[in-house]
């Protein structure tokens, strides 16, 4: 059982897509990795609405705990400004 595994078929991957995946070691973060990157990610989001971190986006979509953490961090940072 691994509900977090995305429906990714190897046949869909172009060489460019494979390169993009390999850039970040793996796009599928653990919660620890997600927490490590969360400050940077949320600050980047606040500074640039076009900012995307595919690995973070994917994890936050699938992980309610981290998504809530990111949302409260975002609220905190917005309130600080």
Cα dihedral 40, 36, 28, 18, rounded to 10, equals 60
Q: Which of 37, 78, 81, 28 is nearest to 58 (CA)?
A: 28
One of 17, 31, 61, 76 touching Zn ion (CB under 5 A): 31
Min CB(3)–Zn ion separation in Å = 13
Give yes or no for residue 66 binding Zn ion (CB under 5 A). yes
Give yes or no for residue 63 binding Zn ion (CB under 5 A). yes
User: Residue 35, class by beta-carbon neighbours within 10 Å (0-12 exposed, 13-18 middle, 19+ buried)?
Assistant: middle
Interface region with Zn ion, contact rule CB under 5 A, candidates 4-12, 16-24, 26-34, 38-46: 26-34
Residues that bind Zn ion (CB under 5 A): 31, 34, 63, 66
């Amino acid at each position: 059982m691994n509900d977090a595994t995305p429906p990714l078929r190897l046949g869909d991957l172009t060489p460019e897509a494979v390169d993009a995946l390999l850039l970040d070691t793996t796009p599928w973060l653990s919660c620890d990795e997600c927490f490590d990157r969360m400050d940077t990610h949320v600050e980047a989001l606040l500074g640039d609405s076009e900012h995307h971190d595919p690995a973070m986006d994917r994890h936050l979509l699938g992980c309610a705990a981290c998504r809530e953490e990111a949302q409260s961090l975002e609220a905190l940072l917005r309130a600080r400004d």
